[in-house]
Copies of this chain bind each other. A is one copy, B any other.
Amino acid sequence: MSDALRLPALDPASLPELRGSGYPEPYKSRMGDRVKRRLGPALGLTQFGVNLVRLGPGGQSALRHWHTHEEEFVYLLEGELVLRTDAGEQVLRAGDCAGYPAGNGDGHQLVNRGDSVAVYLEVGTRDDDDEAHYPDDDLLLRYQQVAQPDGGSRREMLPLHKDGRPY
């Protein structure tokens, strides 16, 4: 990593570490030791998001889910993670990648079952019509535009039960 990079370049270590999740409990706590750095907005990107994610032992990338409209890609930089999909489990190591086309109905999730930290890049497009579906949990995520004090609006998660009731 380098000192004093200026845009359009960036040292991810210069960005704040974000913990937490937009999930309601009890799902939020399941994510465990998960820290994200949001590279995309810091670089001025708007068409897709890029996060550098550090997942400690026991941590989860997300609940197992699939997106109706948004496409995702992950590239494992360090450590070892278990990828869970409908077809079962497989172990990803540094240098491996995975991609999740939109709308295919196959939920995916990365879990750190080892004793070491894992680090990966995640890339995902943005689509306001997107819904995230969670085959193993009573959750359905939609997005909503929420008016902001500055007159603009911001996209926020709207977590629902599977029957449509809000959390």
Contacts and interface: CB of A to CB of B under 8 A. Distances in A.
Interface of A: 1-2, 5-6, 8-13, 39-40, 43-48, 50, 71, 73, 75, 77, 83, 85, 87, 90-102, 106, 108, 121, 123, 125
Contacts of A40: 73, 99
Copies in the complex: 2
Contacts of A106: 8
A46 B71 contact: yes
B9 A46 contact: no
Given A45-B71, A48-B123, 16 more contacts: A1-B95, A5-B90, A8-B99, A8-B100, A8-B106, A9-B92, A10-B98, A10-B99, A11-B96, A39-B73, A43-B73, A47-B48, A47-B71, A47-B125, A48-B73, A48-B125
A2 B83 contact: no
Contacts of A13: 95
A124 to B, nearest CB: 9
Contacts of A102: 47
